[in-house]
Amino acid sequence: MIKIKSQEEIELMRIAGRITRDTLKVVGDSIKAGVSTKELDEIAYNYIKSQDATPSFKNYCGYPASICASVNDTIVHGIPNKNIVLKEGDIISIDVGAKYKGYNGDAARTFAVGKIDAKTKKLIKVTEQSFFEGIKDLKSGAFVGDISHRVQTYVEKNGFSVVRELVGHGVGKQLHEDPMVPNYGKAGSGPRLNANCIIAIEPMVNMGEKNVVFMPDGWTCKTKDGLPAAHYENTVLITENGVEILTL
Ligand code: MF3
Ligand code: CO
């Protein structure tokens, strides 16, 4: 069942979204060669706590940290680790959620560590732009498949591939609610989105083939071919006439 949020719930989701966005900014500003992903996790944890919120991911299905920190060929759900230290030329996707008065924000960005090569730069840009393609014309009454189709078409037109195993989702009191929001599919398919529903749209884009592998930790998801991947996500409120992005 796709939940329709009340005005009171939307107001709390706006605050959760703002804290989530600001956490990404604080973590992003700390990204440089020599920093470990564990240190970035601590920065996120401390910032979220300072805002009277709690990290949505910590202990979610047993997840051990406040952020997912996914370097280079790790697509998503990289577990922060003091032995994973950033170096010049890496890319890192940070995914974070903040829960405020019972409501969750969820967002992700991919950052460059110093100078990166042109094709990897394009990967990050295309991933980000695929989100904005996905929300074009999005408003009350649209189909989930309209988003999926737009994201997939844009990514593939640019020569990259879309991950199938993981998808976007409704978000609210629960981090993951209905509906699932795949980044591939047909326009006009799937459930309809009505005003005041809130979803996380999160393209995961591989430079090479779409295939993924999961590591024995049960979380870390990597590209099978070892090429880099990028991730971009926002929490989005559907309105009568369009959308309001709660984590921008
Ligand atoms: N944005 C990610 C997702 O929606 C965050 C989940 S990580 C988890 O899947 F650890 F909380 F599961
Ligand atoms: Co998400």
SS (H, E, C) the chain: CCCCCCHHHHHHHHHHHHHHHHHHHHHHHCCCCCCEHHHHHHHHHHHHHHCCCEECCCCHHHCCCCEEEEECCEEECCCCCCCCECCCCCEEEEEECEEECCEECCEEEEEECCCCCHHHHHHHHHHHHHHHHHCCCCCCCCEHHHHHHHHHHHHHHCCCEECCCCCEEECCCCCCEEEEECCCCCCCCCCECCCCCEEEECCEEECCCCCEEECCCCCCEEECCCCCEEECEEEEEECCCCEEECCC
Instruction: Report, as an integer, the average pLDDT of 193-217.
Output: 98
Assess whether the C-beta atom of 107 lies below 6 angstroms from ligand 1. Answer: no
What pLDDT is stored for residue 193 in this prediction?
A: 98
Model confidence pLDDT, tens digit, residues 2-36:
999 999 999 999 999 999 999 999 999 999 999 99
Query: Does 232 sit in the ligand 1 pocket, CB within 6 Å?
Result: no
pLDDT for 60 = 98
Ligand 1 atom nearest residue 108's Cα: 1
Mean pLDDT for the chain overall:
98
Q: What is the pTM of this model?
A: 0.98
Q: Which of 48, 68, 70 to mutate to test the pocket of ligand 1 (most atoms within 8 A of CB)?
A: 68
Q: Which ligand is nearest to the CA of 218?
A: 1
Q: Could you report the per-residue pLDDT of 22-71, keeping only the tens digit for each?
A: 999 999 999 999 999 999 999 999 999 999 999 999 999 999 999 999 99
Predicted pLDDT at 31: 98
| All domains in the chain, ordered by first residue | 7-245 (3.90.230.10)
Atom of ligand 1 nearest to the CA of 166: 9
Amino acid 175: pLDDT: 98
Q: How much of the chain, in percent, has pLDDT values that exceed 70? A: 100
Ligand nearest to the CA of 199: 2
